[in-house]
Amino acid sequence: MITVRKIAEAVDGHLFGDPDSVIYGVCELKQGKKGFISFIRAPQYHQYFVNSEATAVIVNESFTMETGSKTIIRVKNPVLAFAKVLEMFDTKPVIVPLFHKTATISTNANIDAQCFIGPNAVIEDGVTIGKGTNICAGSFIGANTLIGVNVTIHPNVTVYHNCSIGDNVTIDSGTVIGADGFGWITENKKHYKIPQIGKVIIKENVWIGSNCNIDRGTFMDTIIGNNCKFDGHIHIAHNVVIGDGCLFAAQVGIAGTTKIGNYVTLAGQVGVVDHITIGDNSVIASKSAVMQSVNPGSFYSGIPARPHNERKRQDVVIRNLPDIAKRLRLFERKFEDWLKERD
């Protein structure tokens, strides 16, 4: 349990109400409970404020409703503040430094003593792992891979050889980093494998969700920029270069040698073909198929993806096609009747 005063200090908020109220957890505003704290993310949720039983509510600085007996904390960004509150009530187990007796660790690995190496983890020759990093149960770290400080690699992650993972990276379970890219050459109906000898380089503060695949480059490197956040079930092919601050939702697939700029958002199930560029600050709507390069600051959607407003105008025309066809047939009949009358 935590007092409202302590929460307000943690989120740098202005407290109005009882600072000594004790908070036992977090709750939704609509299903609020006494002794719990909630938040209002947007004006449409104001309707639930009066009847909510939440003891405290985080609101933005322009909030003007009567607070009654509730304690409120005013902040600039209620969603960000509530995220910090969630951290305060997080029940994840604390991991302490330990090299588990069932882990297989090469004598040639360089691992900081303040790391956690979990049960049945495998650390191969030449691996370097920085301070405060957690390699959880069943994960594999291939030879000569470099891992920075405060990295968390969850259970059953595979990191192949010669990869590089920067500081403060999180990789969720089931993800594979550094498998061979899909490189083949066909001659006389036989497929020959093209060796994939590049690396995967993941920079700092990256989050990679569960069951993702990030392929190593052919001879160039596959690169993930700083502060990128990936959902689960994402595939990044060989030689792809991704800038800083990108957000990719589930089931995004990016084909080889494509370049993604900084702060690009790809919504769920977006597919991107090979050898193109998506410019900085672009947004691609869900289920879109990007077939050509995209200029910076663009908003694209559809199959094939095209500027969103253009696609909406085209969709209006497509929806009206049955009526247009009907009117055209009527015009044709009238024109034919007119021709007959002339004859």
Active site residue 238: yes
Give the model confidence (pLDDT) of 51-96 as tens digits. 999 999 999 999 988 888 899 999 999 999 999 999 999 888 778 8
Catalytic residue among 14, 238, 275, 308: 238
Helices (H) and strands (E) in the chain, counts: 4, 40
The token pair at 291 is: 């077939």
Gap between the Cα atoms of 333 and 296, Å rounded:
49
User: What pLDDT shows up at residue 298?
Assistant: 96
Write the CA distances from 16 to 22, 53, 71, 314, integer angstroms. Answer: 15, 17, 6, 52
User: What pLDDT shows up at residue 327?
Assistant: 86
Spell out the per-residue pLDDT of the chain, length 343, in tens.
899 999 999 999 999 999 999 999 999 999 999 999 999 999 999 999 989 999 999 999 999 888 888 999 999 999 999 999 999 998 887 788 999 999 999 999 999 999 999 999 999 999 999 999 999 999 999 999 999 999 999 999 999 999 999 999 999 999 999 999 999 999 999 999 999 999 999 999 999 999 999 999 999 999 999 999 999 999 999 999 999 999 999 999 999 999 999 999 999 999 999 999 999 999 999 999 999 999 999 999 999 999 888 877 877 778 888 888 888 888 888 878 777 777 6
User: What pLDDT shows up at residue 343?
Assistant: 66
Cα 89–Cα 138–Cα 165 angle in degrees, nearest 5:
75
Buried b (16+ CB within 10 A) or exposed e, 210-246: bbbbbbbbbeebbbbbbbbebbbbbbbbbbbbbbbbb
Which residues, listed in sequence order, are joined to residue 32 by a DSSP beta bridge?
A: none
Architecture of the domain made up of 98-308: 3 Solenoid (2.160)
DSSP annotation string for 57-83: EEEETT--S--TT-EEEEES-HHHHHH
Asked if CATH classification 3.40.1390.10 holds for the domain at 2-88, the reply, yes or no, is yes
The β-bridge relationship of strands 299-301 and 306-307 is antiparallel
